[in-house]
Amino acid sequence: MKFGFVDESNMVLLTDLYELTMAQSYFNAKMNGIAVFDFFVRNLKKRSYLLSAGLEQVIYYLENLKFSKEDIEYLKTTGRFSDDFLDYLKSFRFTGNLYAVDEGEIVFENEPLLTIEAPLIEAQIVETFIINTMQISTLVATKALRCYSVAGKSLLVDFGLRRAHGTDAGMKAARSAYIGGFIGTSNVLASKCFGIPSFGTMAHSFILAHKDEKEAFTHFLKSYPENSTLLVDTFDTIKGVENAVEAVKRSGLKSFRGIRLDSGEIVKLAKECRGILDRAGFEDTMIFVSGGLNEYKIKEYLDAKTPIDGWGVGTELVVSADLPFLDCAYKLVEYDNEPKMKLSPKKVTLPGKKQIFRNYCNGIIKSDTIELHDEDIDGLPLMKRYIFKGEVQIDLPSLDEIRKKALESFDTLPPEIKDINSDETIKPSLSSKLQEMVKCLKIELEKNLVNRDA
Amino acid sequence: MKFGFVDESNMVLLTDLYELTMAQSYFNAKMNGIAVFDFFVRNLKKRSYLLSAGLEQVIYYLENLKFSKEDIEYLKTTGRFSDDFLDYLKSFRFTGNLYAVDEGEIVFENEPLLTIEAPLIEAQIVETFIINTMQISTLVATKALRCYSVAGKSLLVDFGLRRAHGTDAGMKAARSAYIGGFIGTSNVLASKCFGIPSFGTMAHSFILAHKDEKEAFTHFLKSYPENSTLLVDTFDTIKGVENAVEAVKRSGLKSFRGIRLDSGEIVKLAKECRGILDRAGFEDTMIFVSGGLNEYKIKEYLDAKTPIDGWGVGTELVVSADLPFLDCAYKLVEYDNEPKMKLSPKKVTLPGKKQIFRNYCNGIIKSDTIELHDEDIDGLPLMKRYIFKGEVQIDLPSLDEIRKKALESFDTLPPEIKDINSDETIKPSLSSKLQEMVKCLKIELEKNLVNRDA
């Protein structure tokens, strides 16, 4: 237990204690009517749109959710739970419904990315894991799509595993980056698990371990004659690329895949390197750049007509550095057929079971409307029923299909929303029925407060 | 494989592809001399100090590192690796040495938190995982200690699991927060795995699922008569605390543990709530605050003499929101007895196998000196040999011992470094022998560049 790995055998315990203590209190009070919870983002802050991701992992979690004998025994040792409740947990499964926006769909503020409709105890216990999974997946997918939005035809590769927040973040970031338009990852395990193409170059340590750069390049080219990207900035970038050219020629190769620049004045250096490569007859050799990249730097370099063919984006992608968390929540919106809403300042939620309708004009998003699920409004409904009574209803798309959907969804964004420097967004409107429900509930809740005052 | 869990069975593949391709190239070139790599942070940026954490997980990783049959078969399918190299990987183990600063020790810029001394291929392959583990652990431990530095005698609890970047980050954050002075976590699995005390209150959904607040409080008090913290801000905080008092009295209880405020004007509300509780005879009932907390807000509230007994710190702690990544690196500093250094702009590394010596004056840190490992300098050496020839040499401390060490180390910081608003830090000096080595290597490297020019 020294490491604390999370896997199938213990994921139900990866939850906040209060989910379980509330569950026991519901159990004691025999409150297990049908509850509806929404996961949504209140305020997009530094983002004009979000790219939804993480759904497949949530589905996997819900499908496989159970308390093992060991889990129950552990909970018993805490002294917080009654034998009756622990008995109930033995046969605990997720038996409810999951409605969700597809992975790879664009969403905006207050739009439910997913809705859980299930017996109260089940819907409550899954809260922590759902937020944990959806937030990081959506954060990185969105950041990736922002990079994609500026990278044009150049190639984006996820280099972030080492700087991701732990092992699972490295896996989820690789998957989300791919969904958001990256072409691959440096993460070998993510490549194995998710089928994402893997990429790699070489480290400064590789150069330093050798007598000199030329020897290092020569050794690498010998091992990978058709697939070498040589890191040229360990000592001096221009000398580095000259050494690379010499090593390639001495190795008797007609071409090589690429060079990588990881430091220095990239705009100037990339142009000089391109010249050296072209003059040496290596017009097809790619220039690959890394080191503190984000969507703003990629745009800056490309705006300066820097000849860059590929990008290794790491830290700033996987921790979503300029926005490392979302203002997201998982909130009760209905219990036992009654719509629910709280009044806490700045944290008002939209009550009731809902649907999102999207309208397009010439293939571009015109407006979104959030409405109650039983309304009949024009437009494309975004939420589908993925799980019904605990059973998955839809053949889940492959990762490549999700990625394709994401890039198609991106094409439906108006230009001013696509712009990484824009602070515009699309604010979904609320159907008049939903507005009316919010208004009535507010009046009722405030009346209750006044009555108690009396 | 839909989820992509990382555990003992596949952690060696949680690495960047280039670690394995470089390893094969070293293998082909028969380069497997002893290499020394340092993990360190170049520039502390928004931090005056760091609290080292993550070592135990690194040790676990190194002890258990191997390629399973399945791993080898997977690598074979990629077509990148020769049968000879894959054969070599079958018996691959970590056989080297690990030197490290204790977990729970304070460190500063450029000081190695750990040093790997091992055959080149081993030392290279472990890079990605070491950075991945050490960065997030140290980030959160440091952020936690900053909260501890301002919280005084009030209680800090980690509420961050839901907003951590994935499952593993939630586990590591709970552990690191505890090391950094928190008293517990909401994370049930972290409580189970690491023995950290678990805490919980109730969610807004719990209130909303009931007819009204009073019913919700009454149900919860019935389940947890001695251990209820009631959330009072769902509709109106003052009404909420009045309802809590009434529910407690009607339940026939003489006391209750606490109330939680999660929104609104905390300074004003906490004072009013304290008054209501005291007048009702609940002087011992704690006021617990949550919602967007960080070290700055805790200080602001306490500076305003707000009567707060405990804090649930979540998002900003676990993602280290104001500094979501460290400027950290794992760099080759020696190979085959030759010191190594690169010249990339702004990324110069300190060559050679090193030790850190710390000097104190009246129990307060006076200075740190980084020197070569075989120098004999006054002061307390901070790095110990944890692993020798693949075998762990030291009985690892318990988590409580690590936490105790961290809080004692904190006491050795000068006041101006402890201040969360300070931009001062302690810059370690370099021994004259180390300075000389840097100078000589630089001259030699630059000479090589000029020679190639000629």
Does A233 score more than 50 pLDDT?
yes
Q: Give residue-wise pLDDT tens across range A64-103.
A: 999 999 999 999 999 999 999 999 999 999 999 999 999 9
Supply the DSSP symbol for A163.
G
Q: Which residues of chain B neighbour A245 with C-beta distances below 8 Å?
A: none
Structural domain contains residue A131: yes
Task: Say how far apart CA B208 and CA A123 lie, in whole Å.
Answer: 14
B223 vs A324: CB contact, 8 Å cut-off?
A: no
B344 touches chain A (CB under 8 A): yes
B201 touches chain A (CB under 8 A): yes
Chain B closest CA to A450's CA: distance in Å? 10
Q: Which residues of chain A neighbour B325 with C-beta distances below 8 Å?
A: 163, 315-316, 319, 321
Chain A closest CA to B431's CA: distance in Å? 23
Whether residue A271 sits in one domain with residue A130: no
Mean pLDDT for A149-158 is 96
Those residues of chain B that have pLDDT short of 70 are 1, 344-348, 451-454
Chain B closest CA to A418's CA: distance in Å? 25
B191 touches chain A (CB under 8 A): yes
Structural domain contains residue B448: yes
Q: Rounded to an integer, what is the distance from CA B416 to the centroid of its chain? A: 23
B190 touches chain A (CB under 8 A): yes
CATH code (residue B386): 3.20.140.10
Supply the DSSP symbol for A210.
S
B205 vs A124: CB contact, 8 Å cut-off?
A: yes
Whether residue B312 sits in one domain with residue B362: no
Chain B closest CA to A304's CA: distance in Å? 21
Q: Predicted confidence band at A451 (pLDDT cuts at 50, 70, 90)?
A: low
Give me the pLDDT at residue A345, please: 63
Give me the pLDDT at residue A377, please: 80
Structural domain contains residue A6: no
Chain B closest CA to A169's CA: distance in Å? 5
Structural domain contains residue B227: yes
Mean pLDDT for A1-16 is 90
Q: Which residues of chain B neighbour A224 with C-beta distances below 8 Å?
A: 21, 25, 80
A451 touches chain B (CB under 8 A): no
Chain B closest CA to A193's CA: distance in Å? 5
Structural domain contains residue B287: yes
Interface test with B, best of A2, A3, A63 (most B CBs within 10 A): A3
CATH code (residue A289): 3.20.20.70
Mean pLDDT for A33-41 is 98
Q: Give residue-wise pLDDT tens across range B342-354.
A: 876 666 689 999 9
Mean pLDDT for A295-323 is 98
Query: What does residue B58 show for φ and ψ, rounded to 5 degrees?
Result: -65, -40
How many domains is chain A built from?
Answer: 2
List, in order, residues 6 or more apart from A180 with CB less than 8 Å away: A51, A53, A140, A141, A142, A143, A144, A145, A147, A148, A403, A406
B167 vs A332: CB contact, 8 Å cut-off?
A: no
Does A418 score more than 50 pLDDT?
yes
- Tell which of B318, B350, B379 closes a domain: B318
CB atoms within 10 A of CB B33: 14
SS3 at position B139: helix
Q: Give residue-wise pLDDT tens across range A165-209.
A: 999 999 999 999 999 999 999 999 999 999 999 999 999 999 999
Whether residue B221 sits in one domain with residue B367: no
Give me the pLDDT at residue A453, please: 47
Of A19, A56, A335, the CB nearest to B2: A56
Whether residue B293 sits in one domain with residue B200: yes
The answer to pTM > 0.95 is: yes
The residue behind tokens 């993550």 is: B54
A371 touches chain B (CB under 8 A): no
A161 vs B132: CB contact, 8 Å cut-off?
A: yes
Whether residue B335 sits in one domain with residue B304: no
Domain of residue A336 covers: 11-139+326-453
Whether residue A274 sits in one domain with residue A151: yes
Q: Which residues of chain B neighbour A159 with C-beta distances below 8 Å?
A: 16
Whether residue B168 sits in one domain with residue B135: no
Report the sign of the C-alpha dihedral through residues B351, B352, B353, B355, in that order.
Answer: negative
User: In sequence order, what are the beta bridge partners of B37?
Assistant: B116, B332
Whether residue B168 sits in one domain with residue B24: no
HSE toward the beta carbon, residue A430, CA cutoff 13 A: 16
As a whole-number percent, the residues of chain A with pLDDT over 90 amount to: 93
Q: Predicted confidence band at A454 (pLDDT cuts at 50, 70, 90)?
A: very low
Q: Of B359, B355, B362, B360, nearest to B382 (Cα)?
A: B355
Task: Say how far apart CA B28 and CA B85 lie, in whole Å.
Answer: 8
Structural domain contains residue A4: no
HSE toward the beta carbon, residue B45, CA cutoff 13 A: 12
- Tell which of A273, A298, A318 closes a domain: A318
For residue B70, the one-letter residue type is E
Q: Give residue-wise pLDDT tens across range B237-295.
A: 999 999 999 999 999 999 999 999 999 999 999 999 999 999 999 999 999 999 999 99
B292 touches chain A (CB under 8 A): no
Give me the pLDDT at residue A176, please: 98
- Tell which of B296, B318, B340 closes a domain: B318
Q: How do beta strands A310-313 and A286-290 pair?
A: parallel
Establish, for the pair of chains A and B, how many residue pairs have beta carbons separated by less than 8 Å: 390
Give me the pLDDT at residue B454, please: 43
Using CA coordinates, name the residue in chain A closest to B239. A449
Q: Rounded to an integer, what is the distance from CA B170 to the centroid of its chain? A: 11
Task: Say how far apart CA A172 and CA A175 lie, in whole Å.
Answer: 5
Whether residue B110 sits in one domain with residue B79: yes
Give me the pLDDT at residue B453, please: 47
Whether residue A161 sits in one domain with residue A122: no
Whether residue B302 sits in one domain with residue B414: no
A194 vs B233: CB contact, 8 Å cut-off?
A: no
Helix orientation angle between A127-151 and A399-411, rounded to the nearest 10 degrees: 60
Q: What residues of chain B, 223 to 282, have a C-beta less than 8 Å from chain A?
A: 223-224, 227, 233-236, 239, 242-243, 262-264
Give me the pLDDT at residue B451, please: 59
Q: In this structure, are residues A317 and A173 in contact, taking their beta carbons and an 8 Å threshold?
A: yes
Chain A closest CA to B366's CA: distance in Å? 32
Measure Cα distances from B294 to B160, B168, B229, B348 in Å.
12, 22, 21, 34
The string of DSSP codes covering A379-412 is: SEE-EEEEEETTEE-SPPPPHHHHHHHHHHHHHT
Measure Cα distances from A317 to A35, A182, A294, B10, B162 in Å.
36, 11, 7, 24, 20
Structural domain contains residue B5: no
Structural domain contains residue A275: yes
Percentage helix, strand, coil for chain A under 3-state DSSP, each rounded to 5: 40, 20, 40
Q: Predicted confidence band at A343 (pLDDT cuts at 50, 70, 90)?
A: confident
Whether residue A268 sits in one domain with residue A248: yes
Q: Give residue-wise pLDDT tens across range A364-380.
A: 999 999 999 988 888 89
A119 touches chain B (CB under 8 A): no
Supply the DSSP symbol for A325.
S
Which segments of A46-199 does DSSP mark as H helices, in order? Answer: 55-63, 69-77, 83-90, 120-125, 127-151, 167-179, 188-194
